[in-house]
Structure 1
Amino acid sequence: MPASPSTARAINDRLALRLLQHEGPLTAGQLKQLTGLSRPSVADLVERLQGSGLITVVGETGERRRGPNARLYGIVADRAHLAALDVRTEGVSVVVADLLGAQLAEASLPIDGGIRPDAAVERAVALVERTARAGGASRLHTVGVGAPGLIDPATGDLRDFTSLPTWHRRLVAALTARLPARVLVENETNLAARAEQRDGAARDHDTFVLLWLGAGTGAAVVLDGVLRRGASGGAGEIGFLPVPGTGGLPSATACDGGFHSLAGSGAVEELAADHGLKATPGPQELPAAACVRRAVEVDHAPFLDALADRVAVAAASVAAVLDPGCVVLGGELGRAGGEALADRVGARLAAMSPLRTEVRATALGGTAVLRGALLTARDAAQDEVFSPGA
């Protein structure tokens, strides 16, 4: 059944907006070529999108002005403003951007663990508001939040885990109440994986796993280009994975005895001490990450080999179950270990598993969670703003 004229126009408008989003400013002639539409259809399309305030003339092609055919059309980027948050145990980072994702302002704020939860929430929300004003955003359309913990797939809420600071669990509700914006929350590891797939180490893979090595451990599973969260949102909670070498088993309420006991930050600090490795952490740097960074700087092979042995246990388990073909090492420790750690884990994995699995270091480093949160906010905002009648 052929589409109605109004439906066809909506489809064509959406196609043109996506082309302008990904290809940058285009002339009417270029839109005609890329869409396959007739010249009159493109002219009508451009008029509609200009009339709705979604696109505007941003310049002309060529060294000389050549009239209407040379006009370059681009998306009105300030039609909506976005914010992305990376929520950490020790603080929060914020980026404000326009509808196309261009960053307008950024800021971060440490939050002391001894501060009252309501005061911590107030500081975090005020930081978002100040950063928005600094970026020239009088109103935020969508806010993406990356945080540790499980996200309930039914409600989208951050689930209550006793290991998380109380202010984490209150922040999303406070942002929703205070800001005239849609607030979307997602697990930090999932956001990092999304960013690595779009712009980082997994750009050439539709199927991969990101291992998060930080204060805690986790994994994000992407199969055939789709992030898989599991029935309860807990896919990738490998901190609870029973593994040899921990002297115990995890429980339903604690991951002690699981993979966390091998590769969580506390365990890695102990491993570094056993190898006589010391390092002074930088501002807001995990002590364990500082040790891994220092080990790479001085080529401390015994420590890096021992750490790779531990990480390979989880990588081999993931490979045996999912056969992802690619594992990306993310998080603070994965970033600090870089290629030196990834190469070692890859060599051990090749010896442990018959399934060919490439191990890569994060390509986005400490920006992965913020980048993923911004991508989430941008895609959601564009879906709404670019929809017919928006």
Structure 2
Amino acid sequence: MPASPSTARAINDRLALRLLQQEGPLAAGQLKQLTGLSRPTVADLVERLTAAGLIAVVGESGEQRRGPNAKVYGIVADLAHLAALDVRTEGVGVVVTDVVGEVLAEASVPIGGDTGTGPAVEQAVALVERVAKEAGAEQLHTVGIGAPGLIDPATGELRDSGGLPVWHRSLVAALQERLPEARVIVENETNLAALAEQRDGAARDRDTFVLLWLGHGTGAAVVLDGALRRGASGGTGEIGFLPVPGTGQLPSATDCAGGFHSLAAAPAIVQLAGAQGLVADIDAHEPYAATLVRVAVAAPDVPAHARFLDILADRVSIGAASVVAVLDPGCVVLGGEVGRAGGAVLAARVEERLARMSPLPAEVRASALGGGGVLRGALLTARESAQEVLFGASAG
């Protein structure tokens, strides 16, 4: 049964808007070529989207050309403003963009471990409000939040997770109270990093892969057949709790000490480096564990560096081998600040060990985005949600 005229118009409008988002401003002739629609159909949809306030003329396709065919159309960028938050145990990063993703303002604030819940939440919320003001955003349409821990799939809220600051859960409620007009979306930080790596990073050519997060903590995100898999309780990828040899104890339901976290999280990496005599100058822009890995990778032939990288690869490959054995993803991306700092040097060492440990082939790649993948993923999630509302409600 063919689509009704109104349904066909809505489908065509969505297609054109998606192309303008992906490709940037386009002339009517380019839209005709990319969509395969007829010239009259393209002219009609351009007229509809312009009248709806979704697109506008942003220039002409040639300096000497004039007329309707020379006009270049783009999505109205200030149709809505979005915010993305990267919530860590030690602070918060915020970026505010327009609806097409152009960054308008960004900032971060450290929050010490001894800061009370109320003051910590107020610092974070005040930062969001300040960055929004600097961006010229009178109102935020959608806020995407990336945070460590479990996200309840039924409610979309952060669950009470052992070892994480209490202010994390309070922050979401405070933002919803202070920004009542905004839609607030919360997602696990590792899942967001995986979405960003698939869209803009190391997994752009992969529909199936696992991102192994190596940062302050550890985690894994699973993408199968192009879809992010969260599991029945939202806990897919809580690999920090994976029991592993060599830790001297087993993890518990509320504490991942003794699990993979104790082998490959930042504190364990710093301890390992110290045991090998590896030191580095502190870099305020990244965790000390990532700096140590970066120093070792810069001179991998130094005996102490080689020992450190080999032992680290042994540890990381235990977690990687576990997900490869169960999921057969074909590709493992080493994410987070440590994964990016390790680059191809650490990735090659882990891949070599996987080849010896598992009959299943798996390519190991270093993250292209590192810790920045969380903010990028939160922004992508917020943008897609906002565009679904804005374009779905107005187009067609």
Q: TM-score range by the shorter chain?
A: over 0.9
Distance 1:385 1:248, change over 3 A: same
Give how far 1:127 is off: 0.7
Q: Which residue of 2 aligns with 1:153?
A: 153
Deviation string 1:203-226 (CA, Å, 9 cap, x unpaired) is 111000000112211100000010
Aligned positions of 1:170-319 closer than 5 A: 170-179=170-179, 180-283=181-284, 285-299=286-300, 300-319=305-324
Q: Which residue of 1 aligns with 2:370?
A: 365
Selected match of 1:343 from 336, 348, 351? 348
Give how far 1:134 is off: 1.0
Deviation string 1:287-324 (CA, Å, 9 cap, x unpaired) is 32232222223421001101100001111111111111
Report if aligned partners of 2:163, 2:255 keep a CA contact under 8 Å in 1.
Answer: no
Give how far 1:284 is off: 5.7
Counterpart Cα distance in 2 of 1:153 and 1:362:
27
Between 30-39 and 198-207, the greater mean CA deviation after superposition: 30-39
Counterpart Cα distance in 1 of 2:295 and 2:394:
55
SS in 2 for 1:149: coil
SS in 1 for 2:48: helix
Indicate whether 1:56 and 2:56 are aligned. yes
Report if aligned partners of 1:90, 1:284 keep a CA contact under 8 Å in 2.
Answer: no
Indicate whether 1:13 and 2:13 are aligned. yes
Provide the TM-score with structure 2 as the length reference.
Answer: 0.95
Counterpart Cα distance in 2 of 1:208 and 1:148:
20
Q: Quick one: which amino acid aligns to residue 387 of structure 2?
A: Q
Indicate whether 1:334 and 2:319 are aligned. no
SS in 2 for 1:105: strand
Deviation string 1:73-132 (CA, Å, 9 cap, x unpaired) is 111011011111111111111111111111111111111221111111111111111111
The number of residues matched between the two structures is 390
Q: Quick one: which amino acid aligns to residue 33 of structure 2?
A: Q
Q: Quick one: which amino acid aligns to residue 161 of structure 1?
A: S
Q: Which residue of 1 aligns with 2:36?
A: 36
Counterpart Cα distance in 2 of 1:263 and 1:187:
19
Report if aligned partners of 2:104, 2:135 keep a CA contact under 8 Å in 1.
Answer: yes
Q: Quick one: which amino acid aligns to residue 331 of structure 1?
A: G
Counterpart Cα distance in 2 of 1:284 and 1:64:
48
Give how far 1:196 is off: 0.3
RMSD: 1.4
Report if aligned partners of 1:10, 1:388 keep a CA contact under 8 Å in 2.
Answer: no
Q: Which residue of 2 aligns with 1:135?
A: 135
Counterpart Cα distance in 2 of 1:325 and 1:277:
33
Q: Which residue of 2 aligns with 1:107?
A: 107
SS in 2 for 1:304: helix
SS in 1 for 2:26: coil
Counterpart Cα distance in 2 of 1:15 and 1:80:
20
Identity across matched positions, percent: 74
Counterpart Cα distance in 1 of 2:261 and 2:378:
25
Q: Quick one: which amino acid aligns to residue 103 of structure 1?
A: V
Report if aligned partners of 1:249, 1:257 keep a CA contact under 8 Å in 2.
Answer: yes
Which structure 1 segments of 5+ residues have no match? none
Give how far 1:274 is off: 1.4
Counterpart Cα distance in 1 of 2:39 and 2:390:
25
Counterpart Cα distance in 2 of 1:343 and 1:363:
15
Report if aligned partners of 1:269, 1:288 keep a CA contact under 8 Å in 2.
Answer: yes
Counterpart Cα distance in 1 of 2:343 and 2:204:
17
Deviation string 1:218-272 (CA, Å, 9 cap, x unpaired) is 1000000100000001111111111222222222222222111211222222211
Indicate whether 1:72 and 2:77 are aligned. no
Provide the TM-score with structure 1 as the length reference.
Answer: 0.97
Give how far 1:29 is off: 2.4
Report if aligned partners of 1:206, 1:222 keep a CA contact under 8 Å in 2.
Answer: yes
Counterpart Cα distance in 2 of 1:339 and 1:136:
41
Distance 1:290 1:25, change over 3 A: closer
Deviation string 1:165-186 (CA, Å, 9 cap, x unpaired) is 1111111111111112111111
Between 238-247 and 191-200, the greater mean CA deviation after superposition: 238-247
Q: Which residue of 2 aligns with 1:381?
A: 386
Between 378-387 and 333-342, the greater mean CA deviation after superposition: 333-342
Counterpart Cα distance in 2 of 1:161 and 1:349:
31
